Amino acid sequence: MQAQEIENFFDQKKLTAYTKLLLNPIIFKAGLVRDLPLASLIGVNLKKLDNEYCELTVPYRFLNKNPFNTTYWAVLGMVAEMGSGALLLMYTNKMQPSVSTFVVGCECKFIKTATGLTTFKCDQGLEIAEKVMKTCQTFEAQEIVCKTIAYNEQGEIVAEFIFTWGVKARRPKVA
């Protein structure tokens, strides 16, 4: 599917407004407190969000560590899920018809210990948009396989996460 076709399907003003809202650090933190309270406690920061890409960070600190003095795997997993989840929410926010989203699978490969600031990157925004567009057009469930890669401060890969998301547009209710 062409990027132009995707761009024409989605209301670019809504996408821009959503990303601008989330990139405001105060609003992002308030949203975490409301919707993901554990993420607000561990210090997640959204660094970049656009139509194709999401980048988040999480520090290594007391609340995030395990007995082996590395970042706890569940902390890494939570932020990794947010990498693809933020892109998915951006494309499904205020969609008509509304679209349900659900993680249906998760795989992870840990490569190095995470002992400092960890950065998470997901660059599958256009693939996500394509599947959201397809479910909105057909009302058939779609699966999206998203990879989020975690890097340490030296740019080395710490972990690779693969989340499989299920998306399905809800049929409008008939009166």
* pLDDT of amino acid 173: 81
Q: Is the pTM of this model over 0.85?
A: yes
39-82 tens-digit pLDDT: 999 999 999 999 999 999 999 999 999 999 999 999 999 999 99
Please state the three-class secondary structure of the chain as a single string.
Answer: CCHHHHHHHCCHHHHHHHHHHHHCHHHHHHHHHHHCHHHHHHCCEEEEECCCCEEEEECCCHHHECCCCCECHHHHHHHHHHHHHHHHHHHHCCCCCCEEEEEEEEEEEECCCCCCCEEEEECCHHHHHHHHHHHHHHCCCEEEEEEEEEECCCCCEEEEEEEEEEEEECCCCCC
* pLDDT of amino acid 57: 97
Average pLDDT across the chain, whole number: 94
* pLDDT of amino acid 21: 92
* pLDDT of amino acid 152: 97
